[in-house]
Amino acid sequence: MTRVFAIMAFLAAVALVGLTYYLTTANSGSDQFAECRASQVAGGSAQIGGPFTLVSETGETVTDEEVIDKPSLIYFGYTFCPDVCSIDAARNAVAVDILGERGLDVKPIFISIDPERDTPEVMADYTDILHPAMIGLTGSKDQVKAASTAYRTFFQRRETGDEFYLMDHSTFSYLTMPNEGFVEFFRRDAMPEEMADRIGCFMAAA
């Protein structure tokens, strides 16, 4: 009887290994970017991103299809942010430069969550300082809210009763590609070199 149980256990182990191998290969086969991903989104990457209409730093109304015409690194912030936004956006700019040195063209995008103060002119001045290729986007409150909702970002104004208010907001950066949509997000602790490596992996696999 012991021998029978041993054989059954062995067969069960073989079956489990086979099932694990099947699931692994099946999942990697269905996700062309599996080897590049370092983050997971509940429900899959299709849950993040989508259409938006905003106003560019030159004052033109633009859609997501017009803006995301190449792999793009998107950040939601505001120009009056005392520290976090400029640090994150500068980090993204460095990652874009590293990619440029590798022959890879990625567009840095800064979307304002504070359209009341972030006019197209303010956005143009801000992005020009950070990176010559960075695109600044603003818009009406409804337009900004719709873009934020599409990317599942959070922002909220701290009411101070004057024009010197701050904004609470999420701080992820989103890699979005023209034919793939959103594919990856980066946390604040991601370093430029690491970001460039992962973005390069996605671009090679696309």
Higher per-residue pLDDT: 196 or 25: 196
Predicted TM-score (pTM) of this structure: 0.84
Residue 9 lies in a domain: no
CATH number at residue 93: 3.40.30.10
Percentage of the chain with pLDDT > 90?
77
Say yes or no to pLDDT of 97 above 90: yes
pLDDT of residue 3: 42
Average pLDDT of the chain, as a whole number: 88
Percentage of the chain with pLDDT > 70?
86
Residue 8 lies in a domain: no
Residue 13 lies in a domain: no
Say yes or no to pLDDT of 16 above 50: no
**Containing domain of residue 140, as a range?**
48-205
Say yes or no to pLDDT of 118 above 60: yes
Q: Give the count of domains, the chain.
A: 1
Residue-wise pLDDT for 40-83, tens only, equals 887 788 899 999 999 999 999 999 999 999 999 999 999 999 99
pLDDT of residue 18: 38
**SS3 of the chain:** CHHHHHHHHHHHHHHHHHHHHHHHHHHHHHCCCCCCCCCCCCCCHHHCCCCCEEEECCCCEEEHHHHCCCCEEEEEECCCCCCHHHHHHHHHHHHHHHHHHCCCCCEEEEEECCCCCCCHHHHHHHHHHHCCCCEEEECCHHHHHHHHHHCCCCEEECCCCCCCCCEEECCCEEEEECCCEEEEEECCCCCHHHHHHHHHHHHHHC
Pairwise CA distance, residues 57 & 197, whole Å: 29
Give residue 30's pLDDT band: very low, low, confident or very high (50, 70, 90): confident
Higher per-residue pLDDT: 19 or 148: 148
Residue 88 lies in a domain: yes
Q: Which of 41-45, 68-72, 118-122, 182-186 has the lowest mean pLDDT?
A: 41-45
Residue 148 lies in a domain: yes
